[in-house]
Structure formats: structure tokens, C-alpha cells
């Protein structure tokens, strides 16, 4: 049984924040695809709910003047999967959205809920972590911006105050970058990620690697970046040897656990393989051209 007490449906951000201030114990509910499951399973006791469903201003996806992207917290995965602006400015997020759940879940689930629930397996997270998204969080008394890397505190733990509403995400510009998101799960559809890897890659005019960003999901207690693996590639010419070293180093930066889904040792093998494949694909999309001596 759903254990819902009071139910409010504000129509604006200001109304939402006022309701949250008056009822700090109430839970925000977006698509409800996590929250309702937890209520149904008895993991959440009876709770009052503030629905975000009617807050249209939270659904906005728009271009920022600097070449970046604004994504409102209530943007659904179905929308992210087919929105031309997302495809243009952060296609790895659209890839993640397409890999998520099934059509019914994608129609309801929001990017805000995906990040606020703190799940390490979130398919929205690796792209946002690779792109260094900023979260815009607001209370009735003010606003703050938090880099996504600092928002995740641990498994299912995020830096979100009880009276805070996530308005959305500022995605810095990544003009000229190529990218790739690979979700690894035993089933191709309707399965939670066993591992996720998002890579962004930019090249110098002479073809050397200018910037490489690698983000992993389900590889540590929070979604992570792999700074040592990234640094190896900086200023280098792409080659099989380099990709191998990047993959091997990324594994040393991850700390996967044993779970009923997979053993940690298996995950380590797969992390290395996923990183290598995603780096190669991102490099190709950035304009990298194959050397005849390499299999790239």
C-alpha cells in the first residue's frame, strides 16, 4: 500500500519552496519511479508529498549563450533521449537516456530524481560527471550551485538539504568534443547498470589529445572521474598502447564491490574494457583518424 499522507501540487517554483518551508518533513516527488517503489516496498514510512508535476518551469531545456546547456530538473528521460539540443551539446546524455529503463519509465522518470536519489547506477550521472555539470539548488531563502562531483556523498547520499529544491543543471560548453556512453548490464533492456562509462574527448589541431574526461558509474560508492587515466592522455598521440594504459589506470582509480549483480573482480575486467572502448569511440567522434600501424 502507498503510505501517502498530505499531497500538494504547487504550480510554480516559488509555491513549491513556500510549501516546502511550511512542511519540511514532506518529500518532493518528481516522476515517482523511485519514491513510489520505496513506499510500496515499505522502505519509506507514511509521508506527505509535494508533487513537482505541475511546475512547468522545471521542465525547461535551453541553450546557454556560452555554448552550454540548461536542463531543468523535471526533464524526463524520454525527452532527453530525443531533444535536439541535448543531442547537439551533450549527446552522451542522450545516449544514457536511451539506455535507461523502458518507455513507460522514461516517460515518467526525471533527470533531477535520477541524481537526487544518489544511486551509483544512475544512467544520467556519468554524462553529467564527465561534463562537470553544476547543480542549481534553491530554498525559500536563497540559492547555491554545487559541482556534481561534490553533490554525491556516498551510496544513496547526496548533499541536498530537506528544504532544498533542485532547479536543474548547468552543463558547461563542450564544443568540438566527441563522446561515448556505454552502459553494461546483463540484459539489453529494463536493467539497472552493472557499470556505466562516459567519455568526452577533444583534440588539438595536430591531432594530439587536448582533453580527455572519463566518468564511471557503479564502480565506486559514488559516480567518479578517473583523473590519473585522463592525465596520461593529455598531449599524447592516440594509439593502442595509450588506450591500454588509460584502461589499466582507470581500473586502479575505481573501487567496485562484490554484489549479487557481479563480483568485484569481474567488474574490474569490465571497467578496463569499457573505458578502452569508450575512449576509442569518443576519440573517433572528436575527429581522430586511424594510423595505419594501429587498430584504432
Ligand X SMILES: Cc1cc2nc3c(=O)[nH]c(=O)nc-3n(C[C@H](O)[C@H](O)[C@H](O)COP(=O)(O)OP(=O)(O)OC[C@H]3O[C@@H](n4cnc5c(N)ncnc54)[C@H](O)[C@@H]3O)c2cc1C
- Taking CB under 6 A as the criterion, the residue among 112, 178, 179, 256 binding ligand X is 112
- In 3-state terms the chain splits into helix, strand, coil percentages (rounded to 5) of 35, 25, 40
Query: Contacts with ligand X in 242-261 (CB under 6 A)?
Result: none
Nearest distance, CB of residue 145 and ligand X, angstroms: 14
- Taking CB under 6 A as the criterion, the residue among 166, 212, 274, 282 binding ligand X is 166
Cell 575505481, located at residue: 254
95 binds ligand X (CB under 6 A): no
Neighbours of 222 (CB within 10 A): 22
Number of residues that bind ligand X (CB under 6 A): 32
> Is 268 in a helix, a strand, or coil?
helix
- Taking CB under 6 A as the criterion, the residue among 4, 9, 13, 34 binding ligand X is 34
Query: Using CB atoms, what's the residue nearest to ligand X?
Result: 113
32 binds ligand X (CB under 6 A): yes
Cell 577533444, located at residue: 202
Give the total residue count for the chain.
Answer: 296
The stretch near ligand X (CB under 6 A) out of 102-110, 174-182, 222-230, 288-296 is: 102-110
Q: Which is nearer to ligand X, 33 or 219 (CB)?
A: 33
Q: How would you classify the pairing of strands 142-147 and 152-154?
A: unpaired
Please choose, from the candidates 205, 182, 187, 194, the residue with its C-alpha nearest in 3D space to the C-alpha of residue 280: 182
- Taking CB under 6 A as the criterion, the residue among 26, 28, 229, 232 binding ligand X is 28
Per DSSP, helices labelled H in the chain are 13-22, 35-40, 77-82, 84-89, 91-98, 103-108, 111-116, 125-130, 148-151, 227-233, 240-253, 264-285
The stretch near ligand X (CB under 6 A) out of 103-111, 139-147, 243-251, 267-275 is: 103-111
Q: Which is nearer to ligand X, 157 or 176 (CB)?
A: 157
Q: Per-residue contact track with ligand X, 178 to 197, x per CB under 6 A? A: ------------x-x-----
> Is 32 in a helix, a strand, or coil?
coil
Distance between CA 276 and CA 197 in Å, rounded? 10
Instruction: Give contact residues for ligand X (rule: CB under 6 A).
Output: 27-35, 37, 52, 73, 100-101, 105, 108-110, 112-114, 116-117, 119, 121-123, 160, 165-166, 190, 192
Amino acid at each position: 500500500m502507498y503510505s501517502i499522507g498530505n499531497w500538494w501540487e504547487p504550480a510554480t517554483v516559488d509555491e513549491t519552496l513556500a510549501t516546502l518551508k511550511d512542511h519540511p518533513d514532506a518529500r518532493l516527488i518528481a516522476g515517482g519511479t523511485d519514491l513510489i517503489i520505496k513506499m510500496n516496498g515499505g522502505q519509506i514510512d507514511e509521508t506527505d508529498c509535494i508533487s513537482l508535476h505541475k511546475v512547468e518551469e522545471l521542465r525547461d531545456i535551453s541553450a546557454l549563450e556560452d555554448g552550454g546547456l540548461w536542463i531543468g530538473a523535471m526533464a524526463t528521460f524520454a525527452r532527453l533521449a530525443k531533444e535536439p539540443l541535448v543531442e547537439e551539446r551533450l549527446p552522451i546524455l542522450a545516449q544514457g537516456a536511451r539506455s535507461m529503463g523502458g518507455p513507460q519509465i522514461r516517460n515518467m522518470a526525471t533527470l533531477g530524481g535520477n541524481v537526487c536519489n544518489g544511486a551509483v547506477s544512475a544512467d544520467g550521472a556519468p554524462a553529467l560527471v564527465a561534463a562537470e555539470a553544476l547543480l542549481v539548488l534553491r530554498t525559500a531563502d536563497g540559492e547555491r550551485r554545487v559541482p556534481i562531483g561534490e553533490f554525491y556523498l556516498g551510496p544513496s547520499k547526496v548533499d541536498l538539504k530537506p528544504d532544498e529544491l533542485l532547479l536543474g543543471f548547468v552543463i558547461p560548453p563542450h564544443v568540438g568534443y566527441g563522446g561515448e556512453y556505454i552502459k553494461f548490464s546483463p540484459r539489453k533492456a529494463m536493467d539497472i547498470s552493472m557499470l556505466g562509462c562516459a567519455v568526452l574527448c577533444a583534440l588539438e589541431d595536430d591531432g594530439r589529445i587536448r582533453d580527455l574526461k572519463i566518468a564511471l558509474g557503479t564502480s565506486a560508492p559514488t559516480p567518479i572521474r578517473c583523473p590519473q587515466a585522463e592525465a596520461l592522455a593529455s598531449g599524447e598521440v592516440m594509439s593502442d598502447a595509450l588506450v591500454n594504459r588509460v584502461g589499466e589506470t582507470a581500473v586502479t582509480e575505481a573501487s567496485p564491490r562484490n554484489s549479487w549483480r557481479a563480483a568485484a573482480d569481474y567488474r574490474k575486467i569490465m571497467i578496463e574494457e569499457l573505458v578502452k572502448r569508450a575512449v576509442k569511440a569518443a576519440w573517433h567522434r572528436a575527429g581522430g583518424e586511424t594510423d595505419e600501424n594501429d587498430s584504432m
